[in-house]
Amino acid sequence: MATETQLSVLTLNCWGLKFIAKDRQDRLTAIGRYLADPARSYDIVGLQEVWVYDDYLRIKDLVRDTFPYTKHWYSGVLGSGLVILSRFPIVNTTMRRFALNGDPFKFYHGDWFVGKCFVSAIVMHPTCGEIEVFNTHLHAGYDKVGTPDSYLGCRVGEAWEMGSVVKAATTQGRHVISLGDYNSAPNSLVVQLLTKRGGLTDSWNKIHPEPRNPIPKGLTPEEGVSIMGVTCDTPLNTWSKHTWLNYLTNDPIGERLDYIFYKETPEMICNSVEVAVREQVSGIGASNSGVKNYSDHFGVHAKFSIKPAVYHFQDRVLPDASVYAQDNVTTLPSDALTIDTLEEILLILKQHSNKAKARSKLELTVIVPLALIVTFGLIIAFFWIQPRWVAFIMALILSAFSSGWIVHFLYGFLYGGETASSFTNTIQEVQTVLDYKLLTEHGSNSVNGMSRGSSNTRYNAHSHRQSLLQK
């Protein structure tokens, strides 16, 4: 009989934005010391928002005795911010940049410039073999609660892409863990894509199922952490600028945005999970500034019982199977997304695709031509302007318009075209899965009798559900 062992996993968003995150160097140094403490007994740690490479080197040096194997990934212009620390050897690593990746014109958001991506490291456990660990930080949401989420389509596309890769990883006969900051509430399509398409289990929800009968009201911030697993925008964190209303209870207690997902099998069972790295410590910032949290996020800490992985043929579910259970462990089928959910995903992707195409068309057919007309007008006027100081000002304006039409052309043609293609590819992938679901659940006759055009009527019927979607 295979020997069972314990595996301790932590994820933490470190809030390491250069020039923006307060007391960044002090905090990340403190995080390194926290992780270096052998009493913590973490085996694998995933960090997000370690944007500054010197911060990574400092953490790496501090934890070298506890985590001899580390990996930092580059992406985009400013770096991915993703790090994995491990007690066990890392034998292979990969990085994949998301096809849908934000907006370069919204430079104040920064997501496009850091090259949002997901990474993986295959860790060689001494007794249980390979463990593939995914780490990611999905696109943030910047809109106020109750207003349309301008990046929802981007985030759903990212989750679809990641879910497809994770789904393939779970068939390779190794343990799979996916952790990070998903910038999404537990009821979001993002989480559904990771659990139902990717075939993973949310460790928090496994140990602490959501209280829905009845839904609790009037929760305190402390109860928000212990019951709802809140990790961000909680009044308990000294760095919280505001407090979000919880999606379920509607209390001002913050939201759960950080997750540890895993592939649940008879050989990998989650025993416990808790919100971690909640301590407030001194030594951060000015000497008289009191105690502060390590980051604006709390971490998530999960413990697992694992044995050597076994390839489970039942993970490739037969057409007439919906759920396969063995040893009280439920394995979701590979196409566990419902038709309604797939249609909702299509609706969102199509809406955001149309917005992206309309923005690209506006740039190429309106803004660029107008900028060109003004540019040529300024060129002609330049030679007739007197006195010369006015001509100098005119030259500056001319330079701005000359640069402007080029920038807008590149934005509309290159970025707009690439974004439209990425949305189209994702939409086609979702449509393929939906067509197969219709075929298997309703038979070929209902599929043959439903054209793609007529199916749009079904998408419109579900538009009211947009108000239920969270960031």
Evaluate whether 149 touches 471 at the Cβ level (below 8 Å).
yes
- 170: how many CB neighbours lie within 10 A of its CB? 23
DSSP string, 395-464: HHHHHHHHHHHHHHHHIIIIIHHHHHHHHHHHHHHHHHHHHHHHHHHH-HHHHHT--HHHHHHHHHHTGG
CA distance 260 to 207: 12
Four-residue CA torsion sign, 216, 219, 223, 228:
positive
Longest dimension (CA), the chain: 93
Q: Which residue pairs from 312-319 have beta carbons closer than 8 angstroms and sit at least 24 positions apart in sequence?
A: 312/265, 315/170, 315/171, 315/199, 316/171, 319/440
CA distance 114 to 20: 15
Residue environment code for 83-100, b if the CB has 16+ CB neighbours within 10 A, otherwise e: bbbbbbebeeeebeebbb
CA distance 41 to 28: 19
Residue 188 CA, distance from chain mean position:
12
β-strand pairing of 129-137 with 175-181: parallel
Q: What is the dihedral of CA 184, 189, 190, 194, to 10 degrees?
A: 130
CA distance 396 to 389: 11
Residue 297 is among the residues annotated as catalytic for this protein: yes
- Measure Cα distances from 304 to 7, 70, 163, 176 in Å: 5, 21, 22, 12
DSSP string, 300-313: EEEEEEE------G
Evaluate whether 120 touches 169 at the Cβ level (below 8 Å).
yes
Catalytic residue among 297, 301, 312, 408: 297
Which segments within 200-336 are labelled E, that is strand? Answer: 201-202, 258-262, 268-276, 280-281, 292-293, 299-306, 324-326, 329-331
Rounded to 5°, the CA angle 451-453-455 comes to 70
**Burial of 107 from C-beta contacts in 10 A (0-12 / 13-18 / 19+):** exposed
Q: How many CA atoms lie within 13 A of 16 on its CB side?
A: 31
Catalytically annotated residues? 297
